[in-house]
Amino acid sequence: MQKLSMDELNRKTIEEFKRSAKTPVIAVIENVRSAYNVGSLFRTADAFLLEAIYITGYTAQPPHKEIKKTALGAEDSVDWKYFPNATEAIADLKSLGYKVYAVEQVQNSLSLEKVAFAPDEKIAVVFGNEVSGVEQETILQCDGCIEIPQLGMKHSLNIATAAGVVLWEIIRTRMLKVDNLII
């Protein structure tokens, strides 16, 4: 095996990324304290060609040096919008035909490995604060909650890690349906 060079990776330019068909998935971040986590989410959104990121509350917004440090330019390729609170973001998403799911441990949550969305279904996933998670008021506005199965003692993941896991699973299951790929 030989590691691929940067040329062999066929990376898109910002212009090519902007013109590319996007996955109809929007990540919503609610009151995230760490701008480094925000930057990581931008990189994940770029990797999976997400439609956008919605930033709410006191979450840092680009331009911000800590976002820039972890996003590595993805803050320029991925579309994003700011909303003063998650209520306004969810209202916007629902007006655009998105189903909205919080990523949170709640009664009757959907276990991530059992969630399957149609390839063209518009989905938004809300990720909450590093300590308190998604606000209860926000959860009540969602169409459901997705929970990442966890087997250890902690039962919590960093938001950047949780976003990577959830978004990849949503993208992976869509790829299986669209291309009949085995991943």
| pLDDT reading at 182 higher than 50 | no
Residue 151, C-beta contacts closer than 8 angstroms, at least 6 positions apart: none
Tens digit of each residue's pLDDT (9 = 90 or more) over 52-91: 999 999 999 999 999 999 999 999 999 999 999 999 999 9
**CA-to-CA distance for 101 and 17, rounded, in angstroms?**
26
**CA-to-CA distance for 46 and 55, rounded, in angstroms?**
15
170 pLDDT band (50/70/90 cuts)?
A: very high
Distances (CA, A) of 55 to 3, 30, 58, 132, 134: 36, 7, 9, 17, 13
User: How much is the pTM?
Assistant: 0.94
